[in-house]
Amino acid sequence: MAQRVVSIGSRSGLHARPAANFVQAAAQAPVPVTIAIDGKPPVHAGSLLGVMTLGAGYGDQVTLTAEGDQAEAALEELAALLSKELDA
């Protein structure tokens, strides 16, 4: 199982456009990915509703988890995406 901890780079957090951009990328990942924030259970990263219910704000740390042959590469790409400003 691969994991990455990343800080949210979008000033508006994972809401609306940034969440949609992330979810779209996660849904295209070759392996299932979950995302979690401390104190809340992990949710499927390809679910817009699930990701938005996390309430992750700017600077919050989230944990991405995936399993499978391409898990490391998928998490690397998604972690890089989350660390950027996605609301531009």
Catalytic residues: 15
| Cα-only R_g, the chain | 11
Tell me how far apart the alpha carbons of residues 38 and 62 are, in angstroms, rounded to a whole number: 7
Contact 31/71 with Cβ under 8 angstroms? yes
Q: Parallel, antiparallel, or unpaired for β 33-37 and 43-44? A: antiparallel
Token pair recorded at residue 48: 């817009």
